[in-house]
Structure 1
Amino acid sequence: MSPRKAPALHGTDLSLREHLVATAERLIAERGTTGLTVRAIAREAGVADGVLYNHFADKEELLALAVRAHVRTVGRGMGALPSPGHGSVRENLRAHVLYGIAFHKAVLPAFAGLIDRPKVLDAFAAGGVPGEDWRDRLRGYLQGEVELGRLAADARVDAAVAMIVGVCHETVLTGLLYGSSDSQEVTVEFVDDLVGVVLDGVGGARA
């Protein structure tokens, strides 16, 4: 005879651990992580507070798993990125930049309540799969174009990645820190300028 399912799991195929992660993920997507407590997660999940500690080492582990799940859900919903060798490098890189900005707009608010919780951030980083993060995919794209000869063999891939990721962070974080929605609006001209600097250099330099 199979064990009885907890009442909170009726109508689902999830384990209680999966249900708790899914509940925390949904709360993070709706409210962010600021002020999110074990009690709030347990209440939303329909279980007693102490049940969480039967399935996770601590609340930091649960939060890290939920944030990672949120990031993956956002990524899956944003569609595919261009692959090396298809289309033009300029248009492909433009698509990567727009993707990166939209992705950061969707996920960075979830980290706002974790700035002073390094244990959660460390567990989040440890829970990733190599190559799955957008930064890694951007680097892989550029390196793929180098290998195909569509970018120079001595292209500074890591510097280009740092520049693009930095712009995405700055664009979104400025709005979060200063409460300005205007700073999060990115124009077509700005994206084109960024791609141009990455591919062609800043230009105009004089000795």
Structure 2
Amino acid sequence: MSPRKAAALRAGDRTLREHLIATAEQMISERGTAGLTVRAIARAAGVADGVLYNHFADKEELLAHAMRARVATVERALPPLPAPGEATVEANLRVYVEHGLILHNGMLPALTGLLAHPEVLARFAALSGGGENWRERLAGYLRAERDLGRLAPDARVDAATSMIVGACHEPVLSVLFQGEDLAHRVSVDAVDDLVTAVLTGIAPR
């Protein structure tokens, strides 16, 4: 092991590959991906520029892994999602909405600058390994509640899922496309209003 590599790993027992991913994740969380170069990542990691190519095919692969790590970091800080049949559907949907908003907001720095690099997003999606994501868990939760009779038997679960997912996407998209800092302004009232609209609709009763 070279002295420079040893210095980079002195603070812990993770591998150099893990160290590079963690470094890239930290940089993404602080400054986003726009203008993030191999040289900048290498310098922050305390290694020579070429070391990255010993562990990753290219910068895009490293960024995809860093984004995957960022999602895991954000998710670890979130409370567990409720199971069907627990508490009330209304209270549980609030948890799902808040979970989605926090998750998307936590990913905002990583997404900044990637609109012009779809190959990174494609590799990031492939890293999920087909596992169940937040959207699929939400849809599964709603279907289970419908089966339990806690939602109407003809409840349109897919449409309700799309409403909630779209509402969580909207603040992030506003930032990406309009440059507005809206991702930090979603109030508790907005969460309650969304849950109410999903459960009761907007037609007169």
TM-score by length of 1: 0.89
Label 1:34 to 1:147 Cα distance change in 2 as closer, same or farther (>3 A). Answer: same
1:82 partner letter: P
Label 1:131 to 1:88 Cα distance change in 2 as closer, same or farther (>3 A). Answer: farther
Q: Distance in 1 between matches of 2:183 and 2:52?
A: 39
Contact kept, 8 Å, 1:174 with 1:180, in 2: the verdict is: yes
Contact kept, 8 Å, 1:114 with 1:121, in 2: the verdict is: yes
Identity %: 58
Q: Distance in 1 between matches of 2:102 and 2:96?
A: 10
1:25 partner letter: E
For residue 26 of structure 1, what is the aligned residue in structure 2? 26
Contact kept, 8 Å, 1:174 with 1:184, in 2: the verdict is: no
For residue 172 of structure 1, what is the aligned residue in structure 2? 172
Alignment of 1:1-150 (within 5 A): 6-7=5-6, 8-150=8-150
Contact kept, 8 Å, 1:17 with 1:55, in 2: the verdict is: yes
Q: Distance in 1 between matches of 2:93 and 2:158?
A: 14
Contact kept, 8 Å, 1:175 with 1:184, in 2: the verdict is: no
Contact kept, 8 Å, 1:109 with 1:176, in 2: the verdict is: no
CA RMSD of aligned residues (A): 2.1
Q: Distance in 1 between matches of 2:106 and 2:11?
A: 30
Q: Distance in 2 between matches of 1:19 and 1:160?
A: 41
**Partner SS for 1:189:** helix
For residue 187 of structure 1, what is the aligned residue in structure 2? 187
Equivalent residues, number: 203
Unaligned runs of 5+ in 2: none
Q: Distance in 1 between matches of 2:193 and 2:149?
A: 23
